[in-house]
């Protein structure tokens, strides 16, 4: 079995000293272009990869970032991760992504592993019921940390979305289209994010004298949305529009309507939340509250870099507004269910 390439083997192949190879690999020192090219050629031929752990021990800097997220399979999360990785890798960092599945115990194991193996920073969607001891542990170990979506501690930087504002905008838009019976579809349990989104929906329903408010639970995936819209319509046939907790449940609802021989946007209006790539190319294209997840991921990464570069700066909270993107799944209610007409 061939031996793992080392600084010494690269130095021998290039005919230079070990310190010279080390300087070339780190991009330091006054090395001639000829020598640098010779070292890099030898390293490439030997498939040499610098040991980042050893470099971290020497410099005191760890360039690996941990990202703990919930529901890795959700396309919104995948696009956020893409934005994070694009920015951090361009800055020389490696990103490790783990899915907590919203389990505080599983999350605890991941965090313990991150701390034991050393990470230069942490991006984190806290699981429901995260104990206070977790925040104390992160503070004690002085790990630069930014929470995402769920703000649960005022000692840690945070990047999130103005959720109540977004769902209020979506509900008001439907009301302006003459919808009176609007339901909120999606989500299970009352996380801070869902609570805020429902509050925005409820506020407009009350202020516009619409209603009654209907909140219908559903997991945030296509299959759950497909099944939920059928049950929702059976229980509340008066509903002519739904504001959804996320794009995936909204896309599932649209599929469910089509399976019932109905047209999203004509027989029942649907608004999503996130604007994942699938929203624009769905049939029909989905009206949604857009937060540009890839760009949101880059913002998340930038806040962490700022914290790494200035550990003593004041805690920051960055919340972005969602933008209504109107496509084909929204229109006025069907004739016979409009304001002033008898309900059917």
Q: Which pLDDT belongs to residue 341?
A: 40
Residues in the chain: 344
pLDDT per position as a tens digit, 214-272: 999 999 999 999 999 999 999 999 999 999 999 999 999 999 999 999 999 999 999 99
Q: Is a pLDDT exceeding 70 seen at residue 59?
A: no
| Angle ∠(198,291,332) on CA atoms, nearest 5 | 60
pLDDT per position as a tens digit, 162-178: 999 999 999 999 999 99
Once rounded to an integer, what is the mean pLDDT over residues 60-83?
90
Cis peptide before 63, with omega less than 30 degrees from 0? Answer: no
Contact 14, 31 (CB under 8 A): no
Cα–Cα nearest to 135, from 97, 163, 106, 107: 107
pTM summary value: 0.81
pLDDT-derived band of residue 127, with 50, 70 and 90 as boundaries? Answer: very high
User: What is the 3-state secondary structure of 194-252?
Assistant: HHHHHHHHHHHHHHCCCCCCEEECECCCHHHHHHHHHHHHHHCCCCCEEEECCHHHHHH
Q: Which two tokens stand for residue 60?
A: 């005191």
Question: What residues have CB less than 8 Å from 60, skipping those under 6 apart?
Answer: none
Quote the percentage of the chain above a pLDDT of 70.
94
Q: Is a pLDDT exceeding 80 seen at residue 41?
A: yes
pLDDT per position as a tens digit, 293-331: 999 999 999 999 999 999 999 999 999 999 999 999 999
Chain centroid to Cα 324, Å, comes to 19
Radius of gyration of the chain (CA): 26
Three-class SS state of 162 = coil
Q: Which pLDDT belongs to residue 308?
A: 93
Q: Which segment of 25-39, 46-60, 61-75, 132-146 scores lowest on mean pLDDT?
A: 46-60
Cα–Cα nearest to 278, from 266, 296, 290, 263: 290
In eight-state DSSP terms, residue 282 is S
Q: Which two tokens stand for residue 340?
A: 């002033």
More confident residue, 15 or 119: 15
* CA-based max dimension of the chain: 90
Q: Which structural domains are found in the chain, ordered by start?
A: 7-50 (1.10.260.40), 63-161+293-320 (3.40.50.2300), 163-292 (3.40.50.2300)
Torsion of CA 297, 301, 303, 307, to 10 degrees: 160
Q: Is a pLDDT exceeding 70 seen at residue 56?
A: no
Q: Which pLDDT belongs to residue 55?
A: 53
Q: Is a pLDDT exceeding 60 seen at residue 290?
A: yes
């Amino acid at each position: 079995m061939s031996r793992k390439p080392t600084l010494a083997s690269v130095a021998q192949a290039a005919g230079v000293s070990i310190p010279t190879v080390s300087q070339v690999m780190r991009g330091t020192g006054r090395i001639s272009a000829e020598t640098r090219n010779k070292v890099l050629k030898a390293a490439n031929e030997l498939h040499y990869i610098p040991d980042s752990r050893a470099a971290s021990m020497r410099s005191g800097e760890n360039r690996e970032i941990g990202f703990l997220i919930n529901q890795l399979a959700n396309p919104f999360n995948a696009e956020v991760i893409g934005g994070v990785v694009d920015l951090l890798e361009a800055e020389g960092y490696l990103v490790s992504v783990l899915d907590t599945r919203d389990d505080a115990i599983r999350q605890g194991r991941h965090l313990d592993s991150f701390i034991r193996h050393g990470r230069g920073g942490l991006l984190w969607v806290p699981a429901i019921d995260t104990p206070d001891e977790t925040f104390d542990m992160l503070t004690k170990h002085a790990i630069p940390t930014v929470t995402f979506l769920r703000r649960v501690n005022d000692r840690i930087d945070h990047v999130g979305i103005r959720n109540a504002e977004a769902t209020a905008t979506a509900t008001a838009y439907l009301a302006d289209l003459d919808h009176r019976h609007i339901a909120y579809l999606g989500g299970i349990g009352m996380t801070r994010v869902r609570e805020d989104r429902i509050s925005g929906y409820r506020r407009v329903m009350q202020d516009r004298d619409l209603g009654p408010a209907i909140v219908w639970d559903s997991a945030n995936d296509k299959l759950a949305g497909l099944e939920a819209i059928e049950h929702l319509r059976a229980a509340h046939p008066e509903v002519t529009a739904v504001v959804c907790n996320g794009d995936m449940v909204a896309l599932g609802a649209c599929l469910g309507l089509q399976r019932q021989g109905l047209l999203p946007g004509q027989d029942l209006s649907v608004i999503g939340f996130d604007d994942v790539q699938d929203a624009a190319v769905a049939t029909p294209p989905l009206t949604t509250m857009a937060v540009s997840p890839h760009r949101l991921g880059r913002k998340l990464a930038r806040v962490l870099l700022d914290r790494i570069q200035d550990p003593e700066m004041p805690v920051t909270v960055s919340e972005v507004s969602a933008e209504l993107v109107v496509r084909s799944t929204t229109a006025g209610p069907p004739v016979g269910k409009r304001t002033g007409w008898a309900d059917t």
